[in-house]
């Protein structure tokens, strides 16, 4: 086998950096003429391209340099505040005969802002033309000059021994790459996504069952099936914190959460394994639902808290296996997470309490079980205690927080009352509003309970509530119209006409108001 000096120097340098100085061999080209190496120190991240080239003249060197600058630009780097240093190394049999130093000495930047220069080095490997001093100077910049062999030590006279040494070095470097690739494969294929598939199936089945008997957009139906409804939880129905994780409000909500669970759940279950994933998912969902109970009055349902727990578990994975995380899924996870947090902050109907609670819960739950293969540590027990304290604290805040505040906004009760009224269930509508009417000054609340009393034919009580609504909001034309109906039922036609006229003035396009005026004027 013919062994060129160029091959000897290439693999000697690669072996010296990878095996002797803890550089990571990130990639090797199919023809094994280019290696990508990287290493992080306390102050900087070093990325090296090591290539074999052959040229008699330097005019083609510029093209090689520009191409490598583009490759550096696309090279995946982890999110880091450290300085990134690029070194572009060429190993050639003979140095070009013309002035190549001018080209390698030119500063080429890998970014438009010109913050990341690429340093180019060319080392000639032929006997008599070997630039050992240059290599030592380069290694000195990396702090890796120790144990670098002399030219005589590299170029063993016996060609067979030289070939055997080079082969061992090449195999050691390639094995490093293969070991890291195999390790990554093992990490991302540790578990099989059985529980994720079971979750998706159960969520779809429950959604179909609700749609067969009612509607997943019907608040009353959602409450009946176990949605998170704060007044019911206040009365001891704590199980809603769990059951709400399996319900969804409408087809779009179902599809969005199912897609997120499909991708995130499968990733987390493959990385952590099924038993760990079940723990992470349930704890994240419980913390998320409890946070929703603490900070959101709306009826809520969905797997969003548990799904954000998957984000939390992946963030924990990134903390423990930072290099592998950012080399693979890290950037995508962080970008998608940030987008979801911003979306939850700016869109008012999104239950951001559940999202943030699930995110924290998922991270803590992952920390309690750790990564597969990691030994259990005592501090993990303290995290379980912290999770329990977090859930208890959120539950306590949700239970006692409202009583410590001022006037509330019973939006859920108003919505429920509206649905009862649409079904002519006036007693249920009244009971719903009666539980909250003393703690609010919302005109809509007075309107709803007044409308319920109108349906129950309690006209005097209805009159009082409608007057309260109009006092809080003089432009509330619906309240004026209903008050006109109350006075008409009470036989007070003059007052009925006054408020019917007021309603028509506030909403002149409403034909119903005009019709009432005409009836009262006859």
Contacts of 279 (CB under 8 A, 6+ apart): 365, 368, 369
For residues 281, 285, 288, 292, the Cα torsion angle rounded to the nearest 10 degrees is 170
Contacts of 182 (CB under 8 A, 6+ apart): none
CA 447 to chain centre: 41
Phi, psi of 25 (to 5 degrees): -80, 100
Counting every residue written for the chain, the total comes to 522
Cβ distance 301 to 228 under 8 Å?
yes
Cβ distance 291 to 241 under 8 Å?
no
Please state, as a whole number, how many other Cβ atoms lie within 10 Å of the Cβ of residue 361. Answer: 32
CA distance 5 to 13: 12
Catalytic residues: 304, 355
Q: List beta partners, residue 48.
A: 37, 87
Phi, psi of 51 (to 5 degrees): -130, 150
CA angle 142, 113, 67 (to 5 degrees): 65
Question: Tokens in use for 387?
Answer: 């999770």
């Amino acid at each position: 086998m013919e062994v060129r000096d160029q091959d000897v120097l290439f693999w000697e340098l690669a072996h010296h950096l990878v095996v002797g100085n803890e550089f990571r061999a990130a990639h090797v080209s199919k023809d094994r003429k280019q290696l990508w190496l990287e290493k992080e120190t306390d102050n900087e991240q070093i990325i090296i391209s090591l290539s074999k080239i052959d040229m008699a003249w330097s005019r083609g060197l510029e093209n090689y340099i520009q191409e490598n600058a583009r490759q550096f630009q696309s090279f995946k780097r982890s999110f880091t505040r450290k300085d990134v240093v690029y070194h572009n190394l060429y190993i050639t049999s003979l140095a070009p005969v013309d002035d190549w130093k001018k080209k390698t000495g030119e500063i080429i930047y890998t970014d438009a802002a010109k913050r990341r220069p690429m340093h180019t080095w060319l080392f000639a490997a032929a006997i008599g033309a070997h630039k050992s001093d240059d290599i030592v100077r380069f290694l000195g910049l990396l702090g890796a000059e120790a144990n670098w062999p002399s030219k005589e030590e590299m170029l063993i006279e016996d060609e067979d021994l030289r070939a055997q040494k080079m082969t061992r070095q090449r195999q050691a470097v390639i094995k490093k790459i293969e070991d890291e690739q195999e390790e990554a494969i093992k990490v991302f294929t540790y578990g099989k996504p059985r529980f994720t598939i079971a979750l998706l199936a159960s969520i779809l089945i429950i959604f179909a069952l609700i749609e067969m008997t009612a509607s997943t957009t019907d608040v009353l139906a959602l409450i009946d099936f176990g949605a998170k409804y704060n007044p019911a939880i206040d009365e001891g129905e704590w199980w809603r914190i769990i059951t709400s994780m399996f319900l969804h409000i409408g087809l779009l909500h179902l599809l969005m959460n199912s897609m997120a669970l499909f991708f995130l759940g499968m990733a987390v279950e493959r990385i952590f394994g099924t038993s760990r994933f079940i723990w992470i998912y349930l704890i994240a969902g419980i913390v998320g639902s409890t946070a929703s109970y603490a900070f959101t009055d709306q009826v809520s349902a969905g797997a969003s808290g548990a799904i954000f727990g998957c984000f939390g578990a992946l963030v924990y994975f990134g903390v423990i296996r930072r290099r592998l995380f950012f080399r693979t899924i890290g950037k995508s996870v962080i970008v998608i997470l940030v987008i979801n947090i911003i979306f939850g902050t700016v869109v008012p109907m999104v239950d951001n309490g559940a999202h943030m609670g699930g995110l924290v819960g998922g991270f803590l739950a992952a920390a309690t079980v750790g990564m597969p293969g990691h030994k259990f540590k005592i501090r993990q027990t303290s995290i379980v205690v912290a999770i329990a304290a977090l859930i208890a604290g959120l539950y306590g805040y949700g239970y006692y927080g409202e009583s410590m505040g001022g006037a509330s906004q019973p939006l859920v009760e108003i919505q429920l009352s509206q649905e009862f009224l649409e079904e002519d269930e006036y007693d249920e509508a009244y009971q719903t509003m009666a539980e909250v009417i003393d703690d609010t000054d919302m005109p809509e609340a007075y309107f709803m309970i007044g409308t319920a009393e109108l349906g129950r034919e309690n006209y005097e009580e209805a009159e009082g509530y409608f007057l309260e609504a109009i006092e809080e909001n003089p432009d509330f034309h619906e309240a004026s119209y209903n008050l006109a109906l109350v006075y008409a039922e009470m036989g007070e036609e003059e007052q009925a006409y006054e408020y019917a006229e007021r309603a028509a003035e506030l909403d002149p396009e409403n034909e119903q108001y005009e019709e009432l005026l005409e009836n009262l004027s006859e």
